[in-house]
Amino acid sequence: MSRANRRTALLFVLAAIQWTWLLRAVPDVRGNDFGIFYRSASASDPYVGHPGDPTVATGDRFTNLNPPHFLLLMKPLTLLPLRLAAVIWWTLSAWLLAAGLTWWLREQHERWTPEYVAWALLWAPNVTMAFTGQVTAVLGVVLWLAYRSLSRGENLRGGLYAGIVVSCKPILWPLVVWYAARGAWRVLSGVCVGAAAAVCCGVLVFGVDTYFAWLTALRGITWGSETMNASLAAVGSRLPLLTPVLLWTGSGVAIALWTIWRMRNHTLNTAWMPLLAVSLLASPLGWVYYGSWLLPGTRVKTWMSGVALGWCAPMLIVSYLANTSVWSWSIIGSIYGFTLLGIWVTATSRATVGAASTGPAGIS
């Protein structure tokens, strides 16, 4: 057996262990994050902890942090029992993610190989999405449509798609500010219209007061130190010494603004990955399951070598080892955060080298 085949076989073994654990763990947490969304959409008050929601070590309940208009997607599923709704949601998410990854490979003139399948099964963004039942795949389709339209020069349409996603995930603000720095007003017009339309739909169904309740819920976050959080603020929260959250949040915003300025003359193709990576770094909640949003404009080989391999560290092993000591919590517990930081540095450096050889690019 060749070295490459042995490596692929090892990845399959690690993936098998991980997914066996996942299939047993998800039912035990009552649908995990999807369960939170389901109970939130079913309740008269969506933004309080509901019976059945998972809790953190302090005893506080995880609550829904998505805006009211996102709950419109959940409403039809609440007509079904939780277990059946969860099966439908996970099946839909898996299909959308598989379709998106297949499209991404075809854009590179690649096809699925055993090595790529093993990587996809072990890649932390995929594994954590499967564990949580998060919104990554559903919103990711809209975000990838935004990328495709914007990269083709369909600025208004791309902006509309981007606006819908940003209205649900404001953490993607660096992408919007990047277009503002380039004076791409047609794109920004689309973003404003898409975001406003989404919010108006939410207001019509849930009312304005629910949006104030959502903003209040955002201020009550107490679970930012979870290992799946790859942001700078999360890395800082795991250190054995107490540091101000504002220090890390401010550093993330400063890095994001620097990245926007550095990428201002690049095409969307080269700027996308640095901008999306820094969006997660700067956010208080830069969950690793958003990692698939970084893929457009990149090649599969770059994710299977170098620092990016850190996102193939099995979540089961990371979670276990991270809780063995204070130092393992700050180092192993932050492996996804350190990896994201390395991904951002590498992507920004490569883009800068590319710009030096090709010259400034036009707006796209």
**What pLDDT is stored for residue 270 in this prediction?**
93
CA 149/CA 296 separation, integer angstroms: 12
Q: How confident is the model at residue 217 (pLDDT cuts 50, 70, 90)?
A: confident
3-state DSSP assignment of residue 287: strand
**What pLDDT is stored for residue 292 in this prediction?**
94
Q: How confident is the model at residue 196 (pLDDT cuts 50, 70, 90)?
A: very high
CA 223/CA 181 separation, integer angstroms: 33
Q: What is the mean pLDDT of residues 184-205?
A: 96
Q: What is the mean pLDDT of residues 334-363?
A: 72
Rounded to 5°, angle at Cα 236 from 287 and 119: 35
**What pLDDT is stored for residue 189 in this prediction?**
97
Q: From residue 93, how far is each of 87, 134, 324 by CA, in Å?
A: 10, 9, 33
Residue 279 CB partners (closer than 8 Å, separation 6+): 171, 172, 173, 174, 175, 256, 286
| Spatial contact of 54 and 29, defined as CB atoms under 8 Å apart | yes
Is 80 a residue whose pLDDT tops 90? yes
Rounded to 5°, angle at Cα 143 from 303 and 15: 35
CA 298/CA 304 separation, integer angstroms: 12
Tell me: the pLDDT tens digits for 91-145?
999 999 999 999 999 999 999 999 999 999 999 999 999 888 999 999 999 999 9
Say which range, 51-65, 70-84, 218-232, 273-287, has the weakest mean pLDDT: 51-65
What's the gap between Cα 173 and its chain centre? 13
- CB count within 10 Å of CB 362 equals 8
**What pLDDT is stored for residue 179 in this prediction?**
97
The model's pTM: 0.90
Tell me: the pLDDT tens digits for 16-53?
888 888 777 666 656 688 988 999 999 888 887 777 77
- Residue 246 corresponds to which amino acid? L
Torsion 272-180-138-280 (CA) sign: positive
Q: How confident is the model at residue 90 (pLDDT cuts 50, 70, 90)?
A: very high
**What pLDDT is stored for residue 342 in this prediction?**
96
Domain regions of the chain by residue span:
3-358
Is 69 a residue whose pLDDT tops 90? yes
| Spatial contact of 156 and 313, defined as CB atoms under 8 Å apart | no
Return the percentage of the chain with pLDDT > 70, whole number.
90
Q: Which two tokens stand for residue 177?
A: 């500010």
| Spatial contact of 292 and 126, defined as CB atoms under 8 Å apart | yes
Rounded to 5°, angle at Cα 302 from 227 and 166: 55
143-146 CB contacts, 8 Å cutoff, 24+ apart: 143/293, 144/100, 144/103, 144/296
Q: What is the mean pLDDT of residues 55-63?
A: 67
Q: How confident is the model at residue 7 (pLDDT cuts 50, 70, 90)?
A: confident
**What pLDDT is stored for residue 363 in this prediction?**
35
CA 294/CA 280 separation, integer angstroms: 10
Q: What is the mean pLDDT of residues 344-358?
A: 68
- Residue 92 corresponds to which amino acid? L
**CB burial class (10 A; 0-12, 13-18, 19+) of residue 11?**
buried
- Residue 352 corresponds to which amino acid? T
Cα Rg of the chain, angstroms? 20
**What pLDDT is stored for residue 9 in this prediction?**
86
Q: Which two tokens stand for residue 155?
A: 């600025």
CA 55/CA 64 separation, integer angstroms: 12
Is 352 a residue whose pLDDT tops 80? no
**What pLDDT is stored for residue 271 in this prediction?**
95
**What pLDDT is stored for residue 359 in this prediction?**
36
Tell me: the pLDDT tens digits for 220-256?
666 667 889 999 999 998 988 888 888 988 999 999 9
Say which range, 171-185, 222-236, 301-315, has the weakest mean pLDDT: 222-236
**What pLDDT is stored for residue 56 in this prediction?**
64
**What pLDDT is stored for residue 228 in this prediction?**
92
What's the gap between Cα 68 and its chain centre? 19
Residue 175 CB partners (closer than 8 Å, separation 6+): 162, 166, 275, 276, 279
**What pLDDT is stored for residue 223 in this prediction?**
60
